[in-house]
Structure 1
Amino acid sequence: MTEPSTQEQTTTQEQATAQEEQTTTEQTQGNVEVDNSYENDSAYGDELSSYSASLTSSVLDYRHENGRRYHRYRDGSYLLPNDETENDRLDLLHELFLEVLHRKLYLAPIKNPQRVIDLATGTGIWAIDFADLHPGAQVIGCDLSPTQPTLIPPNLKFLVDDIESDWAYVDDPFDFIHARFLCVSIKDFGKLLKECYRSTKPGGWVEFQDLDGYPYSEDGSYKGTGLERYYTEVYGAFEMAGYEVRPGPKLEQWFKDAGFVNVHVEKFLIPHGVWPKDKHLKRVGAWAQAGSEQNGFEGLALAALTRYKNWTKEEVMVLASQARADCRKRDIHMVFDYYVVYGQRPEN
């Protein structure tokens, strides 16, 4: 394990700026005028470092709103916080999803992966586990926020990038692309999966794990509750903003539309709370409730409702409090459907 320099956690924008500066001296014609004011390479390097530092500073200049912290890079394109409270919740959700899959990081039948990327890596916990499990693979974790740790495996690096923008990986493709829990984070999953296809090696695999964001109950106990009102209001705001809130059951078709073959789908149940009789589902439900208790209801709702439905912070907190109270009731049997879908880019 080594500690990377801060330059390793750079943005795609920074990389493009550096490349542009390096090639400027070769441009003698056209619309870009060359600055020939440098007396030596040292002065040029000082200015380049200054620009890089400025760009890094802009990424770390987080947005603070309603007592929570949000990303600044591509400000507003992601509506959940990136503060320590949210990062703790995301690490709890990592344990939840591991429990759902019986401690498996992924289900795709990959063999000897060499180049891997984890999309919207969050705290980077999945990427760290994967890099430890596959020390021969070069692993990238990308996210809008540089909130990942610095003490990481030597075969892992983190980038700040917007996965909904055009990718720059086509000439250096991956043999495994992973994404998990992008519900309410992505506006165009179809486009995203086409970018994945373009950036996957022939024979390589892509795996998405995601929810159908709207919960339900098999016995009708969810109807008419504070939980139902919460998800109706909050997801309504996300839908107003253009985000996909039910990606799980649609993933299979998006994979096929993008061109993947050998598409495989598995659906799992995530109950909320410890009411299930089955021991495995009881553990899953305990992790799910722990994630909600970690200010999950507030974090999901605050930006969406205050920015798109003009709610006050106080109104959001009341709604979240009602949802949390219902979440603790043993006679409300709320369940989410969780999908794991993977597909392969054809060999030829």
Structure 2
Amino acid sequence: MAETPTQEQTTTATINNAPANVEVDTSFENDSSYGDELSSYSASLISSVLDYRHENGRRYHKFRDGSYLLPNDETESDRLDMLHELFLQTLHRKLYLAPIKNPQRVIDLATGTGLWAIDFADLHPQAEVIGCDLSPIQPTMVPPNVKFLVDDIESDWAYEKNQFDFIHARFLAISIRDFGKLIRQCYRSVKPGGWVEFQDWDGYPYSEDGSLNGTKLQLYYDEVIGAFEKAGYEVGPGPKLEQWFKDAGFVNIHVEKFVIPYGVWPKDPHLKKLGAWNQAQADASGYEGVALAALTRHKQWTKEEVIVLASQARADGRKHNIHMLHDFYVVYGQRPEN
């Protein structure tokens, strides 16, 4: 059993895995090889869950219609699977960083295609793993210790208090309006001594050399971020997670920050690989998928206007002289024993 944290143990540990600056690979030549790198199903389904919304050529969830602005079709599922690999590459093949021991009951919030939950269940066969999401898009052939539920994590939770040994959430940016409430619900539902870990973006891109400024790529992010903010979503939760964890009452909070490039322009081999995966997921209809509902529903853009902007952003993203970066945060904390 974990020790009860003392006042001296409740300090926050912060590790910055982002380099001071990312060196450009000046010997770069356009290498197409990076493009090549690229239980049972248990859910309480109401009739509307599978009655999907079809809009602008994409498919969206129907349960709690409109609360999530990204598609849930096969194209988006493929992109989410690419993001799963990107995050694994970022964390050097680790699913989580929290110092959990012998977890018995685990939940993955907004599980998406369920790959994290499935991988965790394989790694911890003694654990019961729940993945919950608005859309039932997860596979049916999964380890026997995994089950998937259709649920809205922004609603008041029906889970019992002190139920989980570990609560995990990844990439909830642009999908959650009130992170503070969500993390407080995690605090109530995790067992004393248990851990909660969130992995998320700072959604605002940047370039260290100013090469992003004035590009169509920057315009894309300005417009899309503005649409999500207008709709009330948090677009940059990563750097705010630490404070939300403190406010909820967690102790032994640990913060790690990673830099993820876009494209294969970095000289460092690890960053180059991350950039390749990041570009691959965006090129796989990511630009359109992220922007369509946000801009057409909340900024009155037409589908055609969104497609043009997405195409321009994609073209800029393929230019070696634009050095876009994102920051990615992993934050975990422990609920005190008492």
Runs of 4 or more, structure 1, over 4 Å off, are none
Is 1:317 aligned to 2:307, yes or no? yes
2:49·2:63 contact (CA, 8 Å) conserved in 1?
yes
SS at match of 2:252: strand
Q: Tell me the equivalent position of 1:298.
A: 288
Q: Tell me the equivalent position of 1:233.
A: 223
Q: Tell me the equivalent position of 1:10.
A: 44
Matches within 5 A, 1:76-95: 76-95=66-85
Give the C-alpha shift of residue 138 in structure 1. 0.3
After TM superposition, the score normalised by the length of structure 2 is 0.88
Larger-Rg structure = 1
Distance 1:102 1:223 in 2: 31
Deviation digits for residues 17-50 of structure 1, max 9, x if unmatched? Answer: xxxxxxxxxxxxxxxxxxxxxxxxxxxxxxxxxx
2:49·2:62 contact (CA, 8 Å) conserved in 1?
yes
Amino acid at match of 2:165: D
Structure possessing the higher relative contact order (Cα contacts under 8 Å, 6 or more residues apart)? 2
Is 1:242 aligned to 2:276, yes or no? no
SS at match of 1:341: strand
Q: Tell me the equivalent position of 2:16.
A: none
Distance 1:172 1:159 in 2: 19
Give the C-alpha shift of residue 244 in structure 1. 0.2
Is 1:60 aligned to 2:31, yes or no? no
Matches within 5 A, 1:260-271: 260-271=250-261
Is 1:118 aligned to 2:99, yes or no? no
Give the C-alpha shift of residue 58 in structure 1. 1.5
2:52·2:61 contact (CA, 8 Å) conserved in 1?
yes
Distance 1:172 1:82 in 2: 32
Q: Tell me the equivalent position of 1:194.
A: 184
2:220·2:310 contact (CA, 8 Å) conserved in 1?
yes
SS at match of 1:60: coil
SS at match of 1:59: coil
State percent identity of aligned pairs: 78
Q: Tell me the equivalent position of 1:133.
A: 123
Is 1:181 aligned to 2:181, yes or no? no
Q: Tell me the equivalent position of 1:41.
A: none
Q: Tell me the equivalent position of 1:40.
A: none
Matches within 5 A, 1:32-51: none
Distance 1:232 1:165 in 2: 29
Give the C-alpha shift of residue 172 in structure 1. 5.7
2:56·2:292 contact (CA, 8 Å) conserved in 1?
yes
Q: Tell me the equivalent position of 1:338.
A: 328
Q: Tell me the equivalent position of 1:100.
A: 90
Amino acid at match of 1:113: P
Give the C-alpha shift of residue 170 in structure 1. 2.7
Structure 1 vs Structure 2 CA RMSD: 0.8
Distance 1:231 1:170 in 2: 39
Amino acid at match of 1:341: V
Distance 1:245 1:324 in 2: 20
Name the structure where helix makes up a greater proportion of residues: 1
Ranges in structure 2 where 5+ consecutive residues have no aligned partner: 1-38
2:162·2:188 contact (CA, 8 Å) conserved in 1?
no
Distance 2:187 2:259 in 1: 28
Deviation digits for residues 231-263 of structure 1, max 9, x if unmatched? Answer: 000010000000000100000000000000000
Distance 1:303 1:218 in 2: 31
Matches within 5 A, 1:135-284: 135-171=125-161, 173-284=163-274
Q: 1:172 to 1:263 in 2, by over 3 A?
A: closer
Deviation digits for residues 147-203 of structure 1, max 9, x if unmatched? Answer: 000000000000000000011123461010000000000000000000000000000
SS at match of 2:48: helix
2:173·2:236 contact (CA, 8 Å) conserved in 1?
yes
SS at match of 1:300: helix
